[in-house]
Structure 1
Amino acid sequence: MTLSSFLKLVEIQTKLASVIPFVLGTLFALYRYNSFKFENFIIMFISLLTFDMATTAINNYFDYKKEKELIRENCKSENIIINARIPEKTASFVIFALLTIAVIFGVLLTLKTDIILLIIGVICFIVGILYTFGPIPISRMPLGEVFSGFFMGFIILFLSIYIHIYDSALVTLMYTNNILSLSLNVVEILFIFLVSIPLVTSIANIMLANNICDVEEDIKIKRFTLPYYIGRENALKLFKILYYVGYADIVILVLLKIAPVASLLVLTTLIPVNKNIKLFINNPSKKETFVVSVKNFFIINFSHIIVMTITLLFKLY
């Protein structure tokens, strides 16, 4: 397998969907909690990236297994394992290696923090596998947008904050006298969730745009996603609404003083995002316009990263 084939197998270009929440969470930990632990940052980054690559490779592997029959019938396929002629054993080894690295660094991070991170990590691991594996994978149901938005938008952001403030009683699990008790700082967790909403909605829209474009082809391979159930027109309306929810949330963050006033500058990105929304709605195409969902995700959230970075620099100096 060449490096190019490996990068295509793990769809390296899509890793921004996990790296950006990670970076934004780190900046928020610095801004709100004045805390940053460099070793935890590096360890989580490695675990997160390798696990994300592994789940993508698993998705491509099982799509390949399901599309074998179509290939026998001389149907075209865009699966990287088929097109790059990657041997099944090689693909399996890559998946195993990536998962092993992710688990090792996940355990190391747990040892440096606490059991809460391990519990959340295990849940993420199970969901990541079930997303593409099993009799009815999550990605083949009308739940893909919900799971991808919540876990990649909120959970990654939450963990990227938690690794820096795990000792601040944000979440506490105690076992005393045969009693297991869990305590949560509900207000702070709610604030973190509010911070994650632009991430949640824009990540969900990447999945939604993909499913809108592929709805006919997905039916052929028995993948019944959200657009299949609500119809393409309603799916396109939802696509637009989710972006506006993210922008409304930014205003709420500033009003509640969770985010700096400078975050309102992110609202200026509504101009190019609106343009991209119209492009996609007028012509939902995998080859021509799907990329606007990725661009919108990047425009909204990277601009927020820039604003937070500048705010932190002013705060420091």
Structure 2
Amino acid sequence: MNVKSFLKLVEIQTKVASVIPLTMGTLYALYRFEHFYTWRFALMLVSLLSFDMATTAVNNYYDFKKASRTHGYGYETHNAIVAHKLKESVVVGVIVLLLLLAAGCGLLLVAQTGLLVFLLGGLSFLIGILYSFGPVPISRMPLGELFSGLFMGFVIIFISAYIHTDDMLAVLTLERGWVHFQLNLVETIYLFWFSVPAILGIANIMLANNICDIDEDVDNRRYTLPVYIGKANALTLFKLLYYVSYVDLALLLILGVHPLLVLLLLPTLIPLRRNLAKFDERQEKATTFVLSVKNFLLLNAARIAVLVVALLL
């Protein structure tokens, strides 16, 4: 396996769905709590990327093993194992190494932070595995958008903010058999609303992927959300989730969670609507799926830029 085939196997272009929430949570902690720990950030970055790449590789491997139809729909090109003629043993070995790296860095982060990171990280690991593996993987159910959005869009942002806040968001301790848990409910709600555009953007990446694969998924007995609600309704939902994100930004501005600079994000509606129109015309994995990634980057990278400017000012 060379570098090109590895990057294709882990679908490196989709890893922005992990890096951006991590960056957003870190900047939120800096902006709202004025705290930052370099070593903790580095550990979470490596653990998060390794696990994200591992789950993607597992998903591609599982699709390769379970495919009922191995021709047409671009199967020969978009499945990295087939396109690059990768050995199954090598793919499994890469998955194991990535999982070990993710777990190792995750445990080091827990040692630096505490039990709450262990529980949330462990739950994320479990969901990540169940997403692609098991008798009925989450990715083959109409729940993929919900789980990917909540865990990658909110849980990642929560953890990446929490590790810098010195228990100002939540506290979980174990003393003499007693579990003590305290949650700053107001700050957690603020952080959730802050996460909504990331939650919906990540869910839309999954939704766009499933819309593009709807015919292939029916043949391969993958009953995703678009299969259940139909392509037309899925396309309507795809557009609606982006507009909800902008409504959420207005709410964040009113609550004072976002700086006034957030108004600079309004012009992003123009290219975003242009991308929506292109995807509405044609839904293809090779050509238009990337528009969902571009929209996610467009809105959330712009939010990151706003937070950076606010911090500098």
Normalised by the length of structure 1, the TM-score is 0.95
Equivalent residue, structure 2, for 1:53:
53
**Deviation per residue, 1:94-134 (Å, 9 max, x gap):** 00000000000000000001110000000000000000000
Matched, 1:276 2:275: yes
What secondary structure, in the 3-state scheme, does the structure 1 residue paired with 2:69 have? helix
What secondary structure, in the 3-state scheme, does the structure 2 residue paired with 1:182 have? strand
Letter in structure 2 aligned against 1:220 = D
After superposition, the Cα gap between the structure-2 partners of 1:184 and 1:88, relative to the gap in structure 1 and judged at 3 Å, is same
Q: Post-superposition shift, 1:26?
A: 0.8
1:22-171 correspondence runs (5 A): 22-67=22-67, 70-71=69-70, 76-77=75-76, 78-168=78-168, 170-171=169-170
Q: Percent identity?
A: 50
Structure 2: 5+ residue runs without aligned partners? none
- Alpha carbons 1:114, 1:166 under 8 Å: kept: no
Equivalent residue, structure 2, for 1:236:
235
Q: Post-superposition shift, 1:178?
A: 4.8
Q: Post-superposition shift, 1:311?
A: 1.1
- Alpha carbons 2:21, 2:153 under 8 Å: kept: yes
Give the distance between the partners of 2:184 and 2:105, measured in 1 at CA.
27
Give the distance between the partners of 2:70 and 2:219, measured in 1 at CA.
13
1:115-264 correspondence runs (5 A): 115-168=115-168, 170-175=169-174, 178-264=177-263
Letter in structure 1 aligned against 2:156 = I
Q: Post-superposition shift, 1:76?
A: 4.7
Q: Post-superposition shift, 1:66?
A: 1.0
- Alpha carbons 2:115, 2:173 under 8 Å: kept: no
- Alpha carbons 2:81, 2:87 under 8 Å: kept: yes
Give the distance between the partners of 1:295 and 1:277, measured in 2 at CA.
11
What secondary structure, in the 3-state scheme, does the structure 2 residue paired with 1:15 have? helix
**Deviation per residue, 1:263-313 (Å, 9 max, x gap):** 121122011101111111122222332211111001000111111111111
Q: How many residues align?
A: 311
- Alpha carbons 2:114, 2:172 under 8 Å: kept: no
**Deviation per residue, 1:58-81 (Å, 9 max, x gap):** 1111111112x53499x9533111
Equivalent residue, structure 1, for 2:308:
309
What secondary structure, in the 3-state scheme, does the structure 1 residue paired with 2:311 have? helix
Give the distance between the partners of 2:268 and 2:12, measured in 1 at CA.
25
Normalised by the length of structure 2, the TM-score is 0.96
- Quick check: 101-110 or 303-312, which moved more? 303-312
Give the distance between the partners of 1:180 and 1:162, measured in 2 at CA.
19
Give the distance between the partners of 2:14 and 2:94, measured in 1 at CA.
18
**Deviation per residue, 1:21-79 (Å, 9 max, x gap):** 11111111100000001110111111111111111111111111112x53499x95331
- Alpha carbons 1:61, 1:91 under 8 Å: kept: yes
Q: Post-superposition shift, 1:180?
A: 2.8
Q: Post-superposition shift, 1:174?
A: 3.7
